Chain A
Amino acid sequence: MDKIPNNRAWWLVLPVFLLVAFSALIPLMTVVNYSVQDIFGPGQAYFVGTEWFKEVLTDERLQDSLLRQFLFSSAVLLIQIPLGIGVALMMPKSGIKGSLCLILVAIPLLIPWNVVGTIWQIFARGDIGLFGWGINQLGVDYNYTGSTVDAWLTVLLMDVWHWTPLVALLCYSGLRAIPEAFYQAAEIDRASKWAVFRYIQLPRLKSVLIIAVLLRFMDSFMIYTEPFVLTGGGPGSSTTFLSQTLTTMAIGQFDLGRAAAFSLIYFLIVLLISWLFFTAITHADKEQ
């Protein structure tokens, strides 16, 4: 549809612009302001230039949590995207069974994030949780509050449980948009199931998959509440991800300058990687 050039349309956009500017620009400017100052108290601030940035970039604790974050996000993408596609392929196409599946699969998405943490905190405990008890019963020594590996696996499993439904629902609605004629043509050609998936379903899913990958990357990169409730970042600092490091620094230690510099670097990393993903995928799209 052709759009009419009309600058008066700004009046319609103005409320959104003002609202988002109020809740995004002002805070962002505050962060930039803090990041170049050393603040001791009200009225006692000194301009320190890029000192905080240098310090943050060489801080080992932050590098560690950045590395952990990357490991976690990669694992999340590698597991959830294929699993989500698989689930979407299995969901019934329509009718009451379709609606029912849709709602049941969506349940984890509707649970507040701290409750997701609570559910797994209970579920994975060796003494009162079905999961932890079951694993222990199988003869495996499992304790997510004591062992680093177990804590990691539990956080990862929790995230898979929590967010695979989103990937599945995105793919499911992408699949439903494929016209029936495509499948009929494939049947006439006696295409194998794999061929149908590879040459009909997968290309049609591309646009929703782009969104799924981007969303899962961004959100897993910002994860805070669930691991905070489940493990509190421990044991040690083995499940302390970037957001938690930042929150501790800003609210816990009130280390304003350092936290601000860290915030900006954090935001830039998310923007940069999202942009890289996006251009890589759309570029591959054009070449085909």
Chain B
Amino acid sequence: MKQARSKNVGITVFIILLLTPVYWLLNMSFKTNQEILGGLTMWPENFTLQNYVVIFTDPSWYNGYLNSMAYVTINVIITLLVALPAAYAFSRYKFLGDKHLFFWLLSNRMAPPAVFLLPFFQLYSSIGLFDTHIAVALAHCLFNVPLAVWILEGFMKGVPREYDEMAYIDGYSFPKFFVKVFLPMIRSGIGVTAFFAFMFSWVELLLARTLTSVDAQPIGAIMTRTIGASGIDWGVLAAAGVLTIIPGLLVIWFVRNHVAKGFALGRV
């Protein structure tokens, strides 16, 4: 029992330390700039929602969130659509060059995004996709698709092939079997994959910023604009930061029971 208690204390201390910077951001987002610059207060003395009002009423602010959401959603959809059949093929069949293909896919996860910066910029400019959501979504496929294939393959391997065979005997065609029988069986795998694809696309900024200028600018790039003539608008910056954390929290809440399995496969 004593041991369990010291463990509890340890993990509580760790989580408190982990959340302190986030608490500070949240704290600042409810303060006025005068209070922020006037001295340290552990709790907002003049509680204000003004910083959030600024973001929700100014289109140049909230469009950043909409842009980020748009390319992340497109990316997750594309990723799942192409990765599901491919993962099925890798988990069920042997085919020419399968192992090489698999490792080549994974090696893209190791490529520093900075390496692809300039070629991406030119590639998407030359085909007229610069500053569109689809360009960022496609660019993020570079690391999300290999990851998705890898995670899904792990989940699909856990489904015995007898199911496939039984479905054929029952007269299911392949597409019908895949959608009606197979996909429901790996629901949690799809959820976990969508979570990771969402997460890595949501947090990435280098490519997203380089491939956009006005119309599809992500919130991360817009946040740099709070540095105005009168210095940095700390309160609005903090509020914008707080709002970027919320989507991630919502998504992880939905997959909380499955996400440990995704990690257990070691496929992140």
Contact = CB atoms under 8 A, between A and B. Distances in A.
Contact of A15 (B86, B90, B120): B86
Interface string B111-131: 111111111111100000000
A246 B259 contact: no
A130 B206 contact: no
Interface string B175-202: 0000000000000000000000001001
A3 B92 contact: yes
Contacts of B24: 119, 122-123, 129-131
Given A128-B36, A161-B21, A24 B244 contact: no
A13 B90 contact: yes
A271 B210 CA distance: 24
Nearest to A98: B260
A90 B93 contact: no
Contacts of B113: 222, 224, 243
B155 interface: no
Interface stretch (A70-78, A104-112, A138-146, A181-189): A104-112
B28 interface: yes
Contacts of B268: 166, 170, 211, 215
Contact of A267 (B18, B25, B98, B111): B111
Interface in B213-256: 219-220, 223-224, 234, 237-238, 241, 244-245, 248-249, 251-253, 256
B114 A20 contact: no
B18 A107 contact: yes
A87 interface: yes
Given A7-B96, A26-B123, A174 B264 contact: yes
Interface string A178-221: 00000000000000010000000000000110110001001001
A120 interface: yes
Interface residues of B, number: 95
A259 interface: yes
A92 interface: yes
Interface stretch (A27-35, A47-55, A56-64, A279-287): A27-35
B69 interface: no
Interface stretch (B45-53, B54-62, B137-145): B137-145
Given A23-B142, A30-B123, A106 B252 contact: yes
Contacts, number: 279
A161 B95 contact: no
B142 A20 contact: yes
Nearest to A15: B82
Contacts of B93: 3-6, 9
B110 A218 contact: yes
Interface string A81-125: 000001101111000000101111111111111110011101100
Given A104-B15, A129-B24, A27 B120 contact: yes
Nearest to A129: B24
B151 interface: no
Contact of B119 (A17, A26, A89, A111): A26
22 contacts: A6-B93, A9-B92, A12-B88, A15-B81, A17-B101, A20-B142, A27-B123, A89-B7, A90-B8, A91-B11, A111-B241, A113-B204, A122-B28, A123-B20, A123-B24, A130-B40, A169-B263, A173-B261, A243-B206, A246-B114, A259-B118, A266-B114
Given A90-B8, A118-B25, A267-B112, 10 more contacts: A12-B89, A13-B89, A19-B145, A110-B245, A111-B22, A122-B24, A173-B261, A210-B266, A218-B109, A224-B206
**CB-CB nearest 10 A-B residue pairs:** A110-B248, A27-B119, A9-B93, A12-B89, A173-B264, A173-B263, A30-B119, A9-B89, A12-B85, A243-B114
Interface of A: 1, 3-10, 12-13, 15-17, 19-20, 22-24, 26-28, 30-31, 34, 86-87, 89-92, 99, 101-115, 118-120, 122-123, 127-131, 133, 161, 165-166, 169-170, 172-174, 176-177, 193, 207-208, 210-211, 215, 218, 221-222, 224-225, 242-244, 246-247, 250-251, 256, 259-260, 263-264, 266-267, 270-271, 274
